[in-house]
Structure 1
Amino acid sequence: MLDATRLLRPTLGERIEIETRLVQGPWLALADPVQLGNALINLAINARDAMSSGGRLTFETANVVLDEDYAAQNAELTSGAYTMVAVSDNGTGIPASVRDRVFDPFFTTKPVGKGTGLGLSMVYGFVRQSGGHIKIYSEEGVGTTMKIYLPRAVGAADALQSGMAPEIIGGRETVLVVEDDDLVRQYVMTNLAALGYAAVAAASASDALALAAHSPPFDLLLTDVILGAGGNGRELANELVRRQPSLRVLYTSGYTEDVIVHHGRLDPGLHLLTKPYRRADLARMIRLVLGEKAVAKVAAEKA
């Protein structure tokens, strides 16, 4: 990873700031290192072209476990342990109308002579050939994160142990879910129901405000940081907390935590659950956030 970033400096130019945020003790991945390096270079060049006036390019790694629930939403994916490599920029973003086509061979939004449309299709081919998975999170005017998941190189026994979910604890509180992606919203609602929560869903900030105005108080707001049609999860949370100060907030985003905080979309110290996440991760974070509410209530009663 560090070798690739050093090689990129002359290619990207001085207007692009490069950051690396690498996990301590990364898992070994089942992938050709040369092809991985080429994939990162292709992603970096695409990111550079989206930041014509300069910007920040961030490389991140993480060890993740993708569970069967997430695999069920992605037909080509097998659940298990993966090494994640993310390439993020704060450029123009990818329009929703073409987002599903960016990996198609010869498809490009660049002017004639500025690109062949093969770079991202080669990245996709490498990831799939390696038995991995690639996911795009992008919003116009915000930037793009490309997450590559490569299978962990471990023995069968270790892989099984890595994929074992921790104890899952649910609850009976009420949750307002705000998510503009239909598939993700359905996934969240299914998991919340399985955990015992009473949940209501909204597809936009305006829908959420209308629901909250005519519903009993919610215990938790679970909202994406960046919502469609220019919606902003932080502004939504501020308004709902103004109306109901006891409301607790858990943010979600496909962008990695370092990137979304660094780009000023979310203040440090707030709770963020990075997509994709397992049911166990969702359950743990909800109990963490609601637990803070319980602690605050006890402290107030003692005061």
Structure 2
Amino acid sequence: MSYRAPQDLALSLALSSILEAQVSAGRYPNVEQARRAALRVMQAHETSQRDVVAEEQGETALYDSMDFTRLALSAVSGVGVWTYEVSSDCFYCDEGISELYGIDPAQGAMGIKRSEFLANVHPDDLVSLRKTMAGGLVNSGDLELEYRIIHPGGVVRWVLSRGHTYFNSAGDPVRRTGVGVEMTAQRLLEQQLRQSQKMEAVGQLTGGLAHDFNNLLTGIMGSLEMLRLRVGQGRLEQLERYFEAAQSASRRAAALTHRLLAFSRRQTLEPMATDVNALINGMLELIGSTIGPQIHIDIQNETDLWLTQVDPNQLENALLNLCINARDAMALGGTLTIGTGNCNLTAKAAAELEVPPGDYLTLSVSDTGSGMSGEVIAHAFDPFFTTKPTGKGTGLGLSMIYGFVRQSGGSIQIQSRLEVGTTMTLYLPRSTLSVSADATAPTRPEALAGRGETVLVIDDEPTVRMLISEVLEDLGYTALNAADGAEGLQLLQSARRIDLLVTDVGLPGGLNGRQVADAGRSLRHDLKVLFITGYAHNALLWEEQLDPGMHLLTKPFSMDDLASRIKSVIES
């Protein structure tokens, strides 16, 4: 049996790689010019064709071909030729590959052991590279792999390696030959493009955020100004509407911040075993009043539904947002279907949803509305993306849901057809825990005068210190105040009685809230601590590191929530 030396294959691999590398690197303005350059190499090759040789002479023919191809590609920057011999476990390569991989050209020409040849491969890519190389020696066919090389000077280069494995008459792998193409310039351009897209998204995010907060701040500031004016005029009969307007704007501002945190997956969640069917049943009245009588609600829940491990309050918000979106898509009325189910995601299905394989609960919301185009679906989870008219929506609803679901270990899927409807399906991880008892809504605790507890409040914001102190006094506690960690630590080092430390996490002056709390506990071993923070990106990490007797409350919070939390911490 005889065969032609693989010079045609090696050269075709090289030529296709030249076209890709030269155009992407900007050396040729278009594919046509790159093709003409490649054809000139092909014409040179056609004048140097070798005769057909027998199989036992294939090695000589191979190296003749490799010598020619090296010469043909010597003028092309970033492209080189290599061959790997199975018997010797050695690579042979030209100067192009030697320069690309950062090895000695003389050693590359004489042969270099595979372990040395791959010594400069990036550690993060080495395992997959070795696995692919081993698989290529077992399975015939072409090989293509992209990975990074770290040069001795520390410079990282991207390499696209294309090759083919050859087998003898017994079916054993003999050698692999191919080309290497530097892709660094293309990958850097892609990184710059991604960075540009990120900056564009940040610009869109901040612009929309500023617009909404300006509206909310106008409502708050205007209401407070009107309160001052009406009190000065002695007109006290209509003060309630200004109070309500300011509180309403404040609640909307807090909700907007919460949605932003959910979008960025930085919110502090309190996951627990949750019965989603019971959660849906408890929300039906609210959903019905929200979407209106023109829309029929159809419930299709799995009877033996598994529990899921999520924050039930956030899931309620997500469900309500999905129902509102469905309502807006059915301007003329229609049917809203809420359904649940159990499913086991195989490895393939889980990979498509970017979650681990296993058991999941599904919660779906379907409408018979206008549907979504492919372009809209592609941007549906982007911050501030909305198809609603200006002023009719912030565009944070779906991004908030996406962030919450991903942070909870699940995924979300959109299925939609124009003029038919849309189905949004949440995949939530199954819980093997039991459902905890429902907590009742917190109410302002009664004053505890006479108990004698003393609370130290540390916060650099005077308004926050004032409000917390007044809440403490209403509850019957004694309040001590400090503006920074050093001042608070002095009080902790004193002989004064302190039963609870309420401290901001981020404090000026070098000592943060955790450092003050740890120092205080070294002096007062039974000291209870309530951290408060507006830096939600640190909240998750802090919660994971809290010791027994330490608690966390994120801003913004209502005074009722603060009062309830202080009482529960002191009495715990």
TM-score normalized by the length of structure 1: 0.50
Q: Which has the larger radius of gyration?
A: 2
Greater fraction of residues in helix: 2
Q: TM-score, normalised by structure 2?
A: 0.27
Higher RCO by CA contacts (8 Å cutoff, separation 6 or greater): 1
